[in-house]
Structure 1
Amino acid sequence: MGKIIKNLKWLTIAIVVCLLVVATHHAPSRSPVVKEKMQGIWLTNVATAFLHHTTFLDEILHQLSLSGYDRIYFSVYGLKGTLYPTSRSYTHFLLRPPLTNPLKAAAQESRRQGLKPYAWFEYGMMLNPGNAIVQEHPDWLLKTAEGETVEDGNVWLDPADPEVQEYILGHIDDILKIKDLAGIQLDDHWSVPKAFGSSARRQALTSFTQKVYSHIKAKNPQMVVSVSPNPYNFAVSKYNQDWLWWVEQGIVDEIVLQVYRPTPEAVIASLSNSGIYTASYYVPVGVGLSAVWNVVPFSLNTVEKQVEAVKQQGYGYSIFSWEYLVLRRFAQFF
């Protein structure tokens, strides 16, 4: 029995030492990555939190930098809360335990690896129906002519409501406290479904976007305001997101057009009349590509073909998302 206890003691010591080595090890730093065309990747909030809590974040960012990526879009505002401290909404403790700031750590480590970190404001004007804000402020929600508040499985905030604006701008202020960030990205959820109205809702969203842009620039003129919308006609007709007008009016600094299609041919076909060509005259642009399950066969090669197709069109790109690229890499061994 004494021998077993002694062996367990040494095993415990060995495990503790290994954990300490992992926790204190830092990947070597890299010089800033300079690209003529953007080469980005999205990380979900769950992935970022997991990598942060397990201390692997620096290694992953180091590898992404070595692979030629120049920017990372970290989901910081989504289903389970935020990756930054805030008093404005609830955050699941597994996503951001007390006294932690995964976004700050991600931004600092990104800079150390020569990458541009963006705070991806993923949920935008959208909320899960179970969100506490929905219960506390039902008057903030948009309603259809029939009085319904749920559309596409979610509820949507009214961009014209002063309290909604204060709520969103408060979150943005919390994000802007992170000094190492290169930009803030709004995406296709920064929108208002047509079920809630058209022209008036479109104008309200545009006006609020202008306000957000001015607010960000007043706090940090160097902060890039990025938008990742759907192709223009779809974005306007279905979600009142007049992003090409925003570009032309100078209230957007970057466009990453979401073209999530199953094949390279479908991606290229969707770029036609998507608005990206016009936008490229005003701001840097890139094409958002999907690496999720419906892009088959499920291999890295499938995504690489889409990347090459986009590059041949003269555009940069960003891939959704890092987790699926990892799964695709593992899939090649099975």
Structure 2
Amino acid sequence: MAHSHPARRSRRRVLAAALLSAWILAWSQPSQGQQQELRGVWLTANDMPVLRDRERMQATVDQLAQLQFNRLYVVVWNGGMGYYPSQLTESRGFQSFTYRGLQGQDVIGELINAGRSRGLVVLPWFEFGLMAPPDSELAKQHRSWLTQKRDGGLTSISAAGEVVWLNPFRPDVQQLITDLVLEVVNQYGAEGVQFDDHMSLPREFGYDPFTVELYRKDTGKAPPANPDDPAWVKWRADRLTAFMQSLSQAIRTARPGALVSISPNYYDFAYKLQLQDWRRWVQTGIADELLIQIYRPDLASYLPQLSKPEVLEARDRIPTAIAVLSGQRNRPTTLPLIREKVEANRGQGLGTGFFYLESLWSLGPEPASERITGLKQLLAPQNLPAASTVPPPLPPPPVAPTLH
């Protein structure tokens, strides 16, 4: 009998391992009607003092697992730089250093492994999306990649301060974002990735020469002077959707079974002001899970958002949650209000995402011990819906044998 070539045998072993990984994931997913209740928390740049210290990070992950969380969204892209050892950003000169922990460790890699060992799904979060600081190397090196307002202005004011916006309609920008995302997916075998309200374009933008010419080719006319013009909004939103479709396909090709998680603002705001047609992203399968940012200070303004048609439609298609503020340094949130919001979410079959880690127990009006006890009671197994089965995380990707 003839022997097969070693390289062919290696390729077959890699393929078999990949197929086995995909089969395990499919087998482990909850059946129809058994969607998990999302219970997530964002780990932000503000949380890096904790995450960069190996011992404190491990203790924090232990605490979150004990509190019955099942999703951690950790920042990997912020301020035009990677919060992980990124060959891409360093080779392109976007950052001149390798981001590491206090003990020299790869913060993101160790966090993902710590989460896996405790049954938590850790999703790298591309917080800045298409946004960048005006003085970042990315913005300074590639001025032509930036889109602009009708008056030629390049910046807007965001929660992160003054920012510029990469043009999501340019192939070179799309390639950069795709390369960054795939670097993280491939480097860590991540269970998925998350994009938020910054994977968007504020409605005032799109008047740069590249986009104007693209619109003229498609429609035969110049863009309307009014950035709120419905046809102009839809054209740009459709272009952004097409990019998200391509990006989600690239992620799933690189990592079969990987989740594409999105956390936009409520739909009317997201579509009209940020060109994010996330309802369509859900309908067409771009998104695998949805967390809608509804940062309202009271129940009266919060509750009506939970029964919107697009929210209930998403809930019936994919795991869906509402993102709430567990507090900010200048905006503490009381434990009773958190409890009321979580219970209201459950009443609609929705999970909850908490923004952000530090404020879970450190920035509230109550002592940290009281908040931890309250969260433990709120998220205790006996208080969770019966159908809150949580699938195990994807196994690590198969490692291809070295070919000699």
TM-score by length of structure 1 reads 0.83
Structure 1 Cα separation of the partners of residues 364 and 139 of structure 2: 40
1:139-288 equivalent positions in 2, closer than 5 A: 139-152=144-157, 153-197=162-206, 198-273=233-308, 275-288=310-323
1:14-29 superposed matches below 5 A: none
The amino acid of 2:108's aligned partner reads L
**Residue in 2 that maps onto 1:28:** none
Separation in structure 1 between the aligned mates of residue 132 and residue 76 of structure 2, nearest angstrom: 14
- On the 8 A contact 1:80/1:92 being kept in 2, the answer is no
Equivalence for 2:383? none
Secondary structure class of the residue paired with 1:314: coil
2:96 aligned with 1:96, yes or no?
A: no
Q: 1:97 to 1:63 in 2, by over 3 A?
A: closer
Which residues of structure 2 form unaligned runs of 5+? Answer: 1-27, 207-232, 371-404
Gaps of 5+ in 1: 1-31
Q: Is the 8 A contact 1:107 1:180 kept in 2?
A: no
Match of 1:79 in 2: 79
**Deviations for 1:175-207, whole angstroms, at most 9, x for unmatched residues?**
112445221000011101100142332122111
Once the two structures are TM-superposed, the CA of residue 58 in structure 1 deviates from its matched residue by 1.1
Deviation at 1:225, TM superposition (A): 0.3
Amino acid at match of 2:184: I
Label 1:330 to 1:296 Cα distance change in 2 as closer, same or farther (>3 A).
closer
In 2: Cα distance, 1:300 partner to 1:95 partner: 35
Q: Is the 8 A contact 2:148 2:154 kept in 1?
A: yes
Aligned length: 302
Residue 377 of structure 2: aligned partner: none
C-alpha contact 1:49 1:96 (8 A) present in aligned 2: no
User: SS where residue 205 of structure 1 aligns?
Assistant: helix
- Identity within the alignment, %: 29
CA deviations over 1:234-290 (Å, ceiling 9, x no partner): 100001000111111111111111111112332212224262111122211111111
Is 1:120 matched up with 2:129?
no
Contact 2:325 / 2:333 at 8 angstroms: preserved in 1? no
Partners in 2 of 1:121 and 1:274 — Cα distance? Answer: 28
Tell me the equivalent position of 1:4: none
1:45·1:95 contact (CA, 8 Å) conserved in 2? no
Which digits, 9 at most, give the CA deviation of each residue in 1:82-103, with x for residues without a partner? 2222133345859536964211
Deviates more, 1:62-71 or 1:84-93: 84-93
Distance 1:267 1:75, change over 3 A: same
Residue aligned with 2:260, SS = strand
Structure with bigger RCO (C-alpha 8 Å, 6+ apart): 2
Offset of 1:80 from its aligned partner?
Answer: 6.7
Supply the AA of the counterpart residue of 1:42: W
Distance across 1 between alignment mates of 2:261 and 2:192 = 7
Give the stretch that moved more between structures: 120-129 or 96-105: 96-105
TM-score of the aligned structures, taking structure 2 as reference length: 0.69
CA contact (8 A) 1:232 1:244 kept: yes
